[in-house]
Amino acid sequence: MNRRLKLLSVFIVSLILAGCGTFRTASAPSGDWTSESSHIMSVYRVWQGTPYQWGGRSRKGIDCSAFTQRVFSDLYRTQLARTTDQQSKQGRAVQSGELMPGDLVFFKTGWQSRHVGIYIGQGDFIHASQSKGVTRSSLNNPYWSKRYWMSRRIDR
């Protein structure tokens, strides 16, 4: 069985398990953040290494806001706006010390440039990086910690 087929199998199984009520919702949090992080990581493994492409929305190339949009759609069946700016206005603000897996983390990467990723726990987040494609990074990395802007929690 080739690697892509294995990853697709993991993704399909995680979607099936999503129907079992293991995900946190606005009205009834599961409290099992380790499980939540595992589900997010199963989707991440499908996308890991996908190259960055501004405006891209597929495994051939994807940008940061399309990546968060796809993960939320696939995992939570929740619709996020298409752009980072629009996503930064969704949900409710969360302080950096209160982050939970599934929260969106935003960065100011330039004068007018913004970036978004999904927090997965233990100070890490996943995102579509211009230099590395879809990858995992640490909020404690000096590059990201200096550029951290805000976080949002989306009802799902």
pLDDT in tens, 23-44: 232 323 444 567 889 999 999 9
End-to-end CA distance of the chain: 34
Q: Is the pLDDT of residue 98 over 70?
A: yes
Alpha-carbon span 109 to 2, nearest angstrom: 37
Which pLDDT score, from 0 to 100, does residue 6 have?
A: 52
Average pLDDT across the chain, whole number? 85
Alpha-carbon span 95 to 134, nearest angstrom: 25
Q: Where are the domains of the chain?
A: 3-153
Alpha helices in the chain (DSSP H): 3-18, 33-47, 64-76, 84-87, 142-147
Give Cα 99 to chain centroid, integer Å. 13
Q: Given pLDDT bands bounded at 50, 70 and 90, which one contains residue 45?
A: very high
At 110, phi and psi to the nearest 5? -170, 180
Residues carrying an active site annotation: 64, 115, 127
CATH of 3-153, one of 3.20.20.30, 3.40.630.10, 3.30.470.10, 3.90.1720.10: 3.90.1720.10
Which pLDDT score, from 0 to 100, does residue 110 have?
A: 94
pTM above 0.85, yes or no: no
Q: Given pLDDT bands bounded at 50, 70 and 90, which one contains residue 131?
A: very high
